[in-house]
Chains A and B, each alone.
Chain A
Amino acid sequence: MHIPNGLLDPKISFGLMGAAAAVLGYCFAKVKAAVTAVVQQPAFAAVGKGIKSLVGGGHRALTKLGEQKIYLMGMVASLIFAAQMFNFPIGHGTSGHLLGGVLAVVLLGPFAGTLVIAVVLGVQAIFFADGGLLALGANIINMAFFGTLVGYYLYAGLRKYLSEPVSIGISAWLSVVLAAFACSIEIALSGTIGFGLVIPAMFKVHAVIGIAEAMITVVLINIFKKMVPLPEE
């Protein structure tokens, strides 16, 4: 559901760019804190590096585990990019493809997962003309915020009561429907299609795509976990 250019009102496009920047800035700070640690410099090394390093002691540097985590993010990003190219027919001359939000957060956690989906969306918009550049903010809010970050909290909430695959499946379905709902609201607010038309139409088609999302997400998480040992948090 990558929104192309020209579908949204510019005010909405720009507003959502600001919102997307705020969300990604927050996620970036969280991931940065997770992959780095303060390095305590020995006293002699700090000499001559200014008062700050003498009193504060050290700077933040990437940890070994943090480095592994960033490679892992890259692997998941490439997997989701590839899987998003695989459109599957859902009937009525329509196709769907994976969104991958819940896939990303189950493998990477909420903030790294959200950043990964945003990077995939950015690459698609810049290099593949898949999703308009002007609509990138909207696409990030729909798919990286609602479909991924919110998807994580849906998954985590369900996981308290349900088994892992069932929680993944239900949250994956919900994440697609939620992203489609957000997308519908933006289109309706832009005056492109009326609320009463776009919301049921988008729901109907994405309720079906969501079933495939649920199945693919469960299968891919299993395969990925077997291929790549995830670091213990």
Chain B
Amino acid sequence: MKKALWFSIMIVILAAFFASSYPDGLEKVIGKLGFIKPAASSPVLLSDYHVLSIPNPNLSTLIAGLAGIILTFGIFWLTAKLLVKR
């Protein structure tokens, strides 16, 4: 379990520094062909994989990514723990 989580953390670290910031496939298609501009979503805590209050973009993405790992793994971990207790 630990190995797998460290592996995810390693990928987030790499992503924080090396991920491409170009628009993804769908964003590109909308940008090129769409005549409706998608509504700007109201900023949430970790919008666009950045922590709003951290100015350094790499660090900001890194922290956001780690939060994402904790959230995604945590949901399942908590579910299992609660079910075992019952």
Q: Is the CB of A82 within 8 A of B47?
A: no
Q: Is the CB of A228 within 8 A of B46?
A: no
* Complex: chain B residue closest to A90, CB-CB: B25
Report the separation of the CA atoms of residues A130 and B41 in the bound assembly, to the nearest whole angstrom.
Answer: 9
Q: How large is the interface on B (under 10, 10 to 19, 20 to 34, 35 or more residues)?
A: 35 or more
By a CB distance below 8 angstroms, the chain B residues around A124 are 68
Query: Which residues of B, 50-73, contact A by the 8 Å Cβ criterion?
Result: 61, 64-65, 67-69, 71-73
Per-residue CB contact flags for chain A residues 44-82 toward chain B (1 = under 8 Å, else 0) read: 000000000000000001100001001101110111111
Report the separation of the CA atoms of residues A92 and B31 in the bound assembly, to the nearest whole angstrom.
Answer: 13
A-side interface residues toward B, CB under 8 Å?
1-7, 61-62, 67, 70-71, 73-75, 77-83, 85-90, 92-97, 119-120, 123-124, 126-130, 132, 180, 183, 187, 192-193, 197-198, 201-202, 205-206, 209, 223-224, 227-228
B-side interface residues toward A, CB under 8 Å?
1, 3-5, 7-9, 11-12, 14-16, 18-26, 28-30, 32-39, 41-49, 61, 64-65, 67-69, 71-77, 79-80, 83-84, 86
- Interchain Cβ contacts under 8 Å between A and B, 7 examples: A6-B37, A67-B84, A74-B74, A95-B25, A127-B71, A129-B47, A192-B34
